Amino acid sequence: MALKGKLTEMGLSDIVQVACKGKNRACLIVQSQGQEGSLFFENGQIVHAILDSQEGEDVIYELLTWDEGTFEIEQNVSPPKRTITTNWSGLLLEGMRRIDESAAKRDGSDTVMEFERKEEQLVSGRSPPPDVKKEDYSTAKKKEVFTMNVKKLSEAIDALKGSLGEGLITTDIWTAADGQSLAGFNPQPKASALFNQLTSTMDKALKGSGFPELGRYYILDLVGGQMTICMPLGDYQWGMLIDSTKAPLGLLLNVVIPQAIDAFEEAIAS
């Protein structure tokens, strides 16, 4: 059954998130003011986009500016080809960054995006409010607004690609809360989620053993001349798969990793 609606009722970014939750092939058709754009989905990712004679990521950035028109999602539609490899969340962030950047140029402000972070705060031992059950008060949710400079986040990825060249196979920056990728190159969302769990398991094992906690990064030596580097960055993690035959370890430890950490910290505005 096709899902239909109006862009005034549901924005394109929300529609994309709904479409990416499914693992089947699908096509999102968007129409506005006589134009028609199509996004093709496969295995929870956007793999192709077309608008008139234009194809690829720029189509998505253009469609995100449409706030009027209609949409329809057709299931079991095979993409004609693959022109997009970036994770869908990274595409949405970049699209929002471009929209904010355009607005910033008009009013002279900086391009900074706001996000809402939800954390659990232990409140056991305190008396719950009258309208809250005691068992539901063992943990309480608090909301904290923080900002991220998405442009600088993209620049950090580009700088890593420039430093490692062909030595960089894939990289992702993801949230530690749910393993969802925010930005990357040749993204691997499944790997991001699994390495997010691995970091958490290692952290618990170190604490349980009485060992020092994880530092700025850990490295896994893999067969075939490859290695994985993962950098825990508070509420985020940055992982990468490296061809060690093309990226010397000394370069990684002394130059690339410190620069990557500094670049990421600059992207966190507060």
How far apart CA 172 and CA 184 sit, in angstroms, is 4
**Among residues 57, 77, 23, 43, which one has the least CA distance to residue 188?**
43
Tell me how far the alpha carbon of residue 161 is from its chain's centroid: 17
C-alpha pair distances (Å), 166 with each of 46, 85, 169, 246, 258? 24, 17, 7, 7, 20
Residues of the chain with CATH 3.30.450.30: 149-267
Burial class (CB in 10 A: 0-12, 13-18, 19+), 174: buried
pLDDT along the chain (270 residues), means of 10: 79 83 85 94 91 92 90 91 85 78 62 48 45 47 52 81 88 86 82 90 92 92 92 91 86 85 77
Residue whose token pair is 């693959």: 82
Please report the pLDDT score of residue 4 as a whole number: 85
Render 8-55 in DSSP notation, one character per residue: TTS-HHHHHHHHHH--S-EEEEEEETTEEEEEEEETTEEEEEEETTEE
| 3-class DSSP state of 67 | coil
Please report the pLDDT score of residue 123 as a whole number: 43
Neighbours of 232 (CB within 10 A): 21
185 DSSP β-pair partners: 171
> Which spans in the chain are helix H?
12-21, 57-63, 88-107, 150-164, 189-209, 249-251, 257-267
CATH, domain 149-267, list 3.90.420.10, 3.40.50.970, 3.40.50.150, 3.30.450.30: 3.30.450.30
Structure tokens at 62: 């253009």
Q: Is the CB of residue 117 less than 8 Å from the CB of residue 235? A: yes
Please report the pLDDT score of residue 164 as a whole number: 87
